[in-house]
Amino acid sequence: MSFGSPILETRNLNIYYGQKKVVRNVSLKIPKKTVTAMIGPSGCGKSTILRTFNRMNDFIDSFRQEGEVLFEGTDIYRSKTEVTEFRRRVGMVFQKPNPFTSSIAKNITWGPQINGYQGDLDELVETSLRKAALWDEVKDKLGDSGLALSGGQQQRLCIARAIAMDPEVILMDEPCSALDPQSTLAIEDLIHELKKNFSIVIVTHNMQQAARVSEYTAFMYNGDLIEFDSTSKIFSQPEEKLTRDYIVGRFG
Partner 1 sequence: MTELPSALSVKNHQVMSGQDLLMPDRESQAVFKVNAKRRRIKERMFTTAILSATIAALLMLLYLVTSITMDGASSLSWDFVSNFPSRFAAKAGIKSAIFGSIWLGSMTLFFAVFFGVGAAVYLQELAGKHRINSIIELSISTLAGVPSIIYGMLGLAVFVRFMALGRSVLAGALTMSLLVMPIIIIASREALKSVPDSIRMAAFALGASRWQTVRDHVLPAAVPGIATGVILAMARAMGEAAPLIILGALTYVAFVPTSIFDGFTALPIQIYNWTSRPQQAFHDLAAAGIIVLLFFLLICNSAAIYIRSKWGAKK
Q: For binding to partner 1 (CB under 8 A), which residues are involved?
A: 54, 56, 59, 61, 84-88, 91-92, 94, 96, 98-102, 110-111, 114-115, 145, 147, 158, 161-162, 165, 207-208, 211, 232, 235-236, 244, 247-250
Query: In the complex with partner 1, which residue's Cβ is closer, 223 or 246?
Result: 246
In this structure, are residues 175 and 155 in contact, taking their beta carbons and an 8 Å threshold? Answer: yes
Tell me, rounded to whole angstroms, the distance of Cα 192 from its chain centroid.
Answer: 14
Query: In the complex with partner 1, which residue's Cβ is closer, 35 or 158?
Result: 158
Query: In the complex with partner 1, which residue's Cβ is closer, 121 or 147?
Result: 147
**C-alpha count within 13 angstroms, C-beta hemisphere, residue 1:** 18
Residue 225, classed as helix, strand or coil, is strand
Query: In the complex with partner 1, which residue's Cβ is closer, 85 or 180?
Result: 85
Could you say which DSSP state residue 145 is in? B
Q: What CA–CA distance (Å, rounded) separates 15 from 13?
A: 7
Give min distance, CB of 245 to partner 1, in A. 11
Q: What CA–CA distance (Å, rounded) separates 244 from 64?
A: 32
Residue 52, classed as helix, strand or coil, is helix
Query: In the complex with partner 1, which residue's Cβ is closer, 87 or 195?
Result: 87
Which runs of consecutive H residues, i.e. helices, occur in the chain?
A: 46-52, 83-89, 104-114, 121-131, 135-138, 151-164, 181-194, 207-213, 231-236, 241-247
Give min distance, CB of 168 to partner 1, in A. 13
Residue 45, classed as helix, strand or coil, is coil
Give min distance, CB of 5 to partner 1, in A. 24
Give min distance, CB of 29 to partner 1, in A. 23
In this structure, are residues 135 and 166 in contact, taking their beta carbons and an 8 Å threshold? Answer: no
Tell me which residue of 110, 201, 186, 111 sits closest to 153, measured CA to CA: 186
Give min distance, CB of 24 to partner 1, in A. 26
Give min distance, CB of 185 to partner 1, in A. 17
Query: In the complex with partner 1, which residue's Cβ is closer, 194 or 211?
Result: 211
CA dihedral 240, 20, 97, 54 (to 10 degrees): -80
Give min distance, CB of 239 to partner 1, in A. 14
Query: In the complex with partner 1, which residue's Cβ is closer, 24 or 185?
Result: 185
